[in-house]
Amino acid sequence: MKPEPLLFAEDLVIRFGGLAALDGVGLRVDRGEVVAVIGPNGSGKTTLFNVVTGLYRPHRGRVVLKGQDVTGLPAHLVARRGVARTFQISRLFLDLSVLDNVLLGCLGRHRPRWLEPLVRPHSSDRRLREAAERAVVLLEEVSPELTVRCYRPARELTLAERRRLELCRALASDPDLLLLDEPSAGMDVRETQALMDEVRALRERRPDLGIALIEHDMTVVRGLADRVVALNYGRKIAEGTFEEVAGSPEVREAYLGA
Amino acid sequence: MSVPAPVRVLTVQAAAAAWAVAFLLVESWAVLGLLVAAGAGFSIWAARWTAGRDGRAFGAVEECAGWAAGGLAVLVVLLPFALRASPYWLFVFVLAGIHALMAVGLNVQVGSTEMVNLGFAGFAAIGAYTSAVLSRDAGFDPWVGLLAGALAACAAGLVVGLPAARTRGYYYSLVTIAFGIVAYLALVNLPAVGGPSGLGRIPPLSVLGVSLRSPLSVAGFALPGQAPSFYLVAVLLAAAVWAARRMHRSEAGLVWNALREDEVATRSLGLDVTQAKLWAMGFGTFLGGLAGALYAHTVGFIAPDNFTFLHSVMLVSMVILGGTDNVAGVVLGAVVLTVIPEKFRAFQDYRLLLYGAVLLAMLHGRPQGLLPKGVRRYASVPQPPEAPRAEKAVEAGTVAVR
C-alpha cells in the first residue's frame, strides 16, 4: 500500500467569468518528492497554487492535506497546517528588514497573542527574542550574505537575493509542503545554478519536505523534478518523468503549436 | 572639549523648552521673527552637538533615551509653572495632549497597517458623548464614564471594522469617511444629546473629591485651573505611548507592519489578516474614545462641531507630519499642529490651508515624517560584522535588477 500522500488534490475546477482557469486538474505530492508543474502562460499553473493554498476557493473538487480536507479553508489556516509558498513576482515586506521578513515567517505557525505585550511584557519579549534567534539561524543556513545584511530593508536586495529571502521566509514556518512559483524567473545562468544547488541542499536537510514548483526553465525541471505535470488550458495533458512528459505529443503541441 | 552625551541631550532639551515658552509668550511680531531665526540657528547647532556615534543628527537623543525621557518628564512637570500667568496656553497644551492621545491611537491604523482612517473624529465623538451622558444624566462617576466611553468607541471600531476589514486602501478610507459623517449627522439630529447645540455642564473628573478643574497651589505657586487636567492628560498620554510602543515592539506590531507591506503574503504565512485589522481598529479606537471622553470632562461642553471630518483630517495630518509608525513622532506632530495654529491665530481663516499645505509638503519632501520609523533591532541578534564578502556581491556576472 502506498503511503498517504502529503498533498492530494483532485478534480479542481475554478472559473473566472466564463473562463475555466482550472478544468478538472489534480495534483499529488508525496513527502520528500519534488513535483514540477509546467505549461504555457495562462495554462492555470499559478491558479492551481492559489487554489491549493486557499487564496482561491474552487468551484468543484477537493484539496486534501495530510489526510485532512482543507478545501475552501482560508489561506492563513491552510498555511498553519504546513503549506508555505513563494510568489512569481516576489512579495517580500520591502520596508521591513531582512531579519523581520524571516521572523514573520517564524510567527505564522501559531496564533499571535495580541494582548500579551501589554499584560505580560516579559514573556512577550522573550518569545520575540527567541524567534529572532531562530530566524537568524535559518538565514545563516540559506544565505550568509543575507545574514550580514539582516538589519537592512529588503528593498535594497537584488532580484536573486529577494528570491532567496522569500524562500527563507517560506521555510521559516517549517512547512511540510513548499510551493515555489517560478523560482528561477529573471535569473541568469549562474544564479539559476545556485538556486538548484540550494533546493538540492534543502532536500538533504529536510528529506520529508514535499516540494511543488512551477518552472519554465527546462534545465531546472530536468535537474530537480522527480515527476512532472504538464497543464494546458486548465487541464492536465501529461504526467510522468521528465523524459516521458517531454516526449508527449500533446506537450509538444501545447508549447510549439505544431 | 568632551561633554558627556546625557548632559548634552539634557542641555539641548532645556534650551528648547525655554525657547518654546518664550515663543508662545512673546507677542510682538518683530521679536517673534528674531526668536524663530535664533531657534533655527540653535537647532542646526544642536543637531550637530548631539550627533550620534554614527554621526546622525540628534542621534545622541536616541542613544541615551532613558535620560531624554527623564528630562522630558521633568520639563512636562515644570511647564504649568512656566505658563502659570497664561492659562490660555496651558489649555492649548491640554488640547495638544488630547490630540496626541488620539493620534497615537490613529497611528496604529494609519502608520502601522496603512489603513487610513478618515473618520477617527467619529470614534472620539462616541467616547465623548457616552462619557458625558453617563456622568451628566445617568449619575455615574466621570471616571466610570471615561472608561465606558473608551470601551464604547472600541466596540464601535470593531463593528465598523468587521465589514471594513474586507476593504483596503481608498475603499477603507471611504468606509471610514462615511462612518465619520454618519456619526456627525446622527449627533446633530439626536435631540436627546442636545442636537446641534451639544451637551453642556459635563461634570469634571475629580481625585479624592477635588475637581480637576480647580486651581492648584504647589509650593507657594498658584497654578491655574488647567494645571490638574494638564497633568492628568500627560499621565494618560505617557501610558498610551508606553502601550503603543510595547505593541510596536512585539509580534503584534510586526504583523501589523506585514499587513501594511503585503496582505496576500501575510495571509500565506499563516497570519490572520482580519484578526490583525480588528485589533488595529480596536486598539486605536479605544484610545480615540478615551481622548474624546477626556476632552468632554476637561472642557465641560461638547457639540457635534467638535468632531467633524475636518478634525479627522487634522488627526491624519498629525500622524503624517510627525512620522507614520513612530509613536514619539506622532506625539510631536500632534503638539506642533495644535500649538502652531493657535500661535498664528491671526491667520485662522487659513488654518485648513495650513493642514493641506503641511500634508502636501510632507508627502513630497519628507514622506517618512519629522521622526521616521526605524528598523527593529533585537538584543539577541547583534549587528553582524560587515564581511569582506561585500566585494564578492558585485562580481562580474551578477546582475542587480530592481
3-state per-residue secondary structure call for chain B = CCCCHHHHHHHHHHHHHHHHHHHHHCCCHHHHHHHHHHHHHHHHHHHHHCCCCCCCCCHHHHHCHHHHHHHHHHHHHHHHHHCCCCHHHHHHHHHHHHHHHHHHHHHHHHHHCCCCCCCHHHHHHHHHHHHHHHHHCCCCCHHHHHHHHHHHHHHHHHHHHHHHCCCCHHHHHHHHHHHHHHHHHHHHHCHHHCHHHCECCCCCCEECCEECCCCEEECCEEECCCHHHHHHHHHHHHHHHHHHHHHHHCHHHHHHHHHHHCHHHHHHCCCCHHHHHHHHHHHHHHHHHHHHHHHHHHHCCECHHHCCHHHHHHHHHHHHHHCCCCHHHHHHHHHHHHHHHHHCHHHHHHHHHHHHHHHHHHHHHCCCCCCCCCCCCCCCCCCCCCCCHHHHCCCCCCCCCC
Chain B interface disruption, residue of A87, A92, A114, most B CBs within 10 A:
A114
Residue A1 confidence (pLDDT):
52
Judge: B270–A173 Cβ closer than 8 Å, yes or no. yes
Tens of pLDDT, residues A191-230 = 999 999 999 999 999 999 999 999 999 999 999 999 999 9
**Beta partners for residue B67, in sequence order:** none
Grid cell, residue B244, equals 503603543
Tens of pLDDT, residues B210-249 = 888 888 778 778 888 888 999 999 999 999 999 999 999 9
Mean pLDDT for all residues in chain B: 88
Global pTM reads 0.90
| pLDDT over threshold 80, residue B260 | yes
Chain B interface disruption, residue of A97, A104, A181, most B CBs within 10 A:
A104
The dotted CATH code for A7-92+158-256 is 3.40.50.300
| A74 touches B: beta carbon within 8 Å | yes
Judge: B258–A96 Cβ closer than 8 Å, yes or no. yes
How big is the A-B interface in CB pairs under 8 Å? 155
| B382 touches A: beta carbon within 8 Å | no
pLDDT band, residue A84 (cuts 50/70/90)? very high
Instruction: Provide the chain A residues 137-176 that lie in CB contact (below 8 A) with chain B.
Output: 144-145, 147-148, 150-153, 158-160, 169, 173
ipTM of the complex in this document:
0.91
For B262, the closest of A77, A85, A91 (CB atoms) is A91
Judge: B271–A112 Cβ closer than 8 Å, yes or no. yes
pLDDT band, residue B399 (cuts 50/70/90)? very low
pLDDT band, residue B396 (cuts 50/70/90)? very low
In terms of pLDDT, which residue wins out, B288 or A252? B288
Residue A231, SS3 per DSSP: strand
| A55 touches B: beta carbon within 8 Å | yes
Could you please state the CATH topology (level 3) that the domain comprising B86-372 is classified under.
ABC transporter involved in vitamin B12 uptake, BtuC (1.10.3470)
Instruction: Provide the chain B residues 322-381 that lie in CB contact (below 8 A) with chain A.
Output: 375-381
Q: Over range A10-38, report the average pLDDT.
A: 92
| A57 touches B: beta carbon within 8 Å | no
Instruction: Provide the chain A residues 95-114 that lie in CB contact (below 8 A) with chain B.
Output: 95-97, 99-100, 103-105, 107-109, 111-114
For B375, the closest of A97, A116, A136 (CB atoms) is A97
Tens of pLDDT, residues B350-393 = 877 877 888 888 888 888 888 888 888 888 888 877 654 444 44
The residue extents of the domains of chain A are 7-92+158-256, 93-156
Name the DSSP letter for residue A153.
B
The residue extents of the domains of chain B are 1-82, 86-372
